[in-house]
Amino acid sequence: MSETPRRALPNPFYVLLLLVSTLFVITALMYCVSPMIVQQAIDHPNAPPRPGSRALVDWLDRNGPMALGVEIVIMMVTGLVAMATDRWFAAASKRKRADNRESFTSEGP
């Protein structure tokens, strides 16, 4: 019986880059929306935002620029490491494809 071919794993640094980039976009959007939540609290004192929203806005007001800066640095580092290690993962993927082709042609009629 032939063994089912296993898929080559993607470069884990690209996966990490994707996760950190998504976190960066979410943080940037929250940082852009937070002044609107403060303005809503000022305009409607009888119906203020929830305490969790206000706490998040206060945290972003104090730590938002630092969080965005750290996320940018992590994105740069993971991007560079992903590009530097890409040939290792691509070579493993090519070897597996070549092995699969050889086993497929050797099992011919």
pLDDT digits (tens, 9 = 90+) for 20-79: 999 999 999 999 999 999 998 899 888 888 889 899 999 999 999 999 999 999 999 999
Structural domains in the chain (count): 1
- Is 5 a domain residue? no
- Is 6 a domain residue? no
| Domain extent at residue 85 | 12-90
- Is 53 a domain residue? yes
- Is 102 a domain residue? no
d(CA 83, CA 77): 10
Predicted confidence (pLDDT) at residue 100 exceeds the cutoff of 90 = no
- Is 52 a domain residue? yes
Residue 82 to residues 21, 74, 97: CA-CA distances in angstroms? Answer: 13, 12, 21
The Cβ-side half-sphere exposure at 93, using a 13 Å CA radius, reads 11
- Is 78 a domain residue? yes
- Is 62 a domain residue? yes
DSSP run (H or E) holding 8? none
- Decide which of 61 and 95 is more confident: 61
Residue 19 has a pLDDT of: 97
